[in-house]
Amino acid sequence: MSHHDERTFVMVKPDGVQRGLIGDVVSRLEDKGLKMVGGKFMQIDEDLAHEHYAEHEDKPFFDGLVEFITSGPVFAMVWEGADATRQVRQMMGATDAQEAAPGTIRGDYGNDLGHNLIHGSDHEDEGANEREISLFFDEDELVDWDLGTSQWVYEDA
C-alpha cells in the first residue's frame, strides 16, 4: 500500500474561489482516484505568502503575486495517491493558462498567466510537497482514512 500514499499540496487560488471552481477541482481530483486527507478554507497572510513563494522573491512579478494570493480566500488541500504530485501537476496544466492544454484545469477554465486558478507542488522540486504541506497544515489536521474505491483504482491495492 505504501507506494499509493504519496502526498501533495494543492490549493484553489483566490481567482478559482471567486469563479466558484472549488467543487470542480475537488471533483476532478476525486474522479482521478486520489484521496483528500486535508482541506482548509483560509486567508493567506503576507508572511505565509512570502514563505510559500520564497523561490520567486527576486522575480519582477513577486509583489503582484503576493498581492494576488493574499487578496481573498483560498482552499488549501492535501491529496494522497500513487505518484500524486506529478499526477496533479499534469491535471493542472502549464503555468500560463493561455498555453495550458484543453482538458487540464488551467486550460479549461483560465486565460491568463498570473490568474491561473490552482497551485500544486512541483514534482521536479524534491521535497516541495512535504515542505508545502507542513507550511499550511499541522500533522493533526491530516486525516488517516481508507478510501473504499482504492481497490478498484489500483490493481495491487
Catalytic residue IDs = 119
- What residues pair up with 11 in beta bridges, in sequence order? 76, 119
Residue whose Cβ sits closest to ligand IDP: 95
Tell me the per-residue interface mask from 97 to 136 with ligand IDP, x by CB under 6 A, - otherwise. ----------------xx-x--x--x--------------
Smallest distance from the beta carbon of 70 to ligand IDP, in angstroms? 13
Is the Cβ of residue 4 or residue 92 nearer to ligand IDP in the bound state? 92
Helix or strand run (H / E) with residue 74: strand 74-81
Is the Cβ of residue 26 or residue 128 nearer to ligand IDP in the bound state? 128
Which amino acid type is present at position 83? D
Which amino acid type is present at position 117? L
C-alpha angle 149-152-155 in degrees, rounded to nearest 5: 135
Q: How many CB atoms lie within 10 A of CB 85?
A: 23
Smallest distance from the beta carbon of 150 to ligand IDP, in angstroms? 28
- What residues pair up with 102 in beta bridges, in sequence order? 104
Q: Which residues are at the interface with ligand IDP (CB under 6 A)?
A: 61, 65, 95, 113-114, 116, 119, 122
